[in-house]
Amino acid sequence: MSMFQPLNISSSALTAGRMKMDIISSNIANATTTRGKLVNGEWIPYRRKMVEVEPSGTAPFSQFLKNEVGANGVKVTRITEDQTPFQPVYDPAHPDANKDGYVMMPNVDITKEMVDLMSASRAYEANVTAFNVGKTISLKALDIGR
């Protein structure tokens, strides 16, 4: 446990939170992208992306033995794609419409994304606050004995 551990923990959460907000922005920007990926000569709509996080420095077995499961912050492990079905929309004039006149739209729900964005933003603010408190504590420690 070093002197700057509180700051490192908050910092990892800030990085992960920024990543989360990047992904949400990508989802919102691609909410109507019908050509996300070319598979076997056929365009597939954009799939909603999600961020997976886990506590960083997941404790090895030796730490469990020593009962030293410390706090190490958080890290993004991978970005997964939401496998829920695409939304069919009737629009025969659309260049990507199938023979029945339906276009497959991405499985992005703007309302959901906005809610996620707000919660990610609040979490980021909370981490900034935690960071600032950690900084104040470290600076106050310099005044001990003055």
Partner 1 sequence: MLQNISVLNQALDASVLRHNAISNNLANVDTPNYKPQKVVFEELLKDELANSSFVGKLTNSKHIPIGNSAARPYITEQPVVMQNNGNGVDVDQEMTNLTKNSIWYQTLSYQLGEEFNLLKTAIRSR
C-alpha distances in Å from residue 99, one per residue of 35, 87, 91, 93, 94? 17, 16, 11, 11, 11
Q: Which is nearer to partner 1, 41 or 145 (CB)?
A: 145
Among 1, 10, 53, 130, binds partner 1 (CB under 8 A): 10
Q: Does 63 bind partner 1 (CB under 8 A)?
A: no
Smallest distance from the beta carbon of 66 to partner 1, in angstroms?
Answer: 24
What tokens does 90 get?
A: 């009737």
Nearer Cβ to partner 1 (2/62) = 2
Q: Which stretch binds partner 1 (CB under 8 A): 12-20, 30-38, 49-57, 64-72?
A: 12-20
Point out which residues pair with 102 in neighbouring strands. 90
Q: Which of residues 102-141 bind partner 1 (CB under 8 A)?
A: 131, 135, 138-139
CA distance 127 to 34: 36
Q: 87 - beta bridge partners?
A: 105
Under rule CB under 8 A, residue 33 binds partner 1: no
Name beta bridge partners: 51.
79
Is residue 72 within 8 A of residue 88, CB to CB? The reply is: no
Of residues 82-101, those binding partner 1 (CB under 8 A): none
Separation between Cα atoms, residue 55 and residue 134, nearest integer Å: 19
**Footprint on this chain of partner 1 (rule: CB under 8 A):** 4, 7-8, 10-11, 14-15, 18, 131, 135, 138-139, 142
